[in-house]
Amino acid sequence: MSHGANIHVENALGARPLHCAASNCAVGVAEMLLDGGEDINSETLVGYTSLHLAAESGDVKMITLLVNRGAKIDATERTGKTPLHLAAGNWRPDAVRMLLRRGADYLARDVHKQTALDVAKGADMIDDNRLAVDMLRSKMVR
């Protein structure tokens, strides 16, 4: 970046360098990009933010960095899914736990009227996602 690299470049899917760092668990690269002025809430063509990508991959360190730096925890992509929906649907209990601790809206519904709990319960490998389901369930009955 000190040599004039463009950190705002996008690929054909609208992904920027921060999106790539978030989906590849590259926390150090993400920090550098954010320090260089990258937009933490920029979206890909389908509306994914870097936080969506970190939640989908289950990278708790990246989630922590992004939320601490101001990422919108309940940002929605084109079908209304939040990062919590993606973490719950991709069997990422640690990411679910972190997002819930940081205040993610567990009642948010996507365009299909599904909450993160609905998405988790509908996942093929429900036993592997039991922790996420249990956490969401306990949150909803409080």
Q: Are 25 and 53 in contact (CB under 8 A)?
A: no
pTM of the model: 0.84
Which amino acid would we find at residue 2?
S
Residue-level pLDDT at 93: 86
d(CA 75, CA 82): 6
Domain assignments of the chain as residue spans, ordered by start: 17-141
How is residue 71 written in tokens? 């990422």
Over the chain, what HEC string results? Answer: CCCCCCCCCCCCCCCCHHHHHHHCCCHHHHHHHHHCCCCCCCCCCCCCCHHHHHHHHCCHHHHHHHHHCCCCCCCCCCCCCCHHHHHHHCCCHHHHHHHHHCCCCCCCCCCCCCCHHHHHHHCCCCCCCHHHHHHHHHHHHC
Residue-level pLDDT at 11: 64
User: pLDDT in tens for each of the 142 residues of the chain?
Assistant: 555 566 666 666 677 889 999 999 899 999 999 999 999 999 999 999 999 999 999 999 999 999 999 999 999 999 999 999 999 999 898 999 899 999 999 999 999 999 998 888 776 545 555 666 666 666 654 5
- Superfamily of 17-141 according to CATH: Ankyrin repeat-containing domain (1.25.40.20)
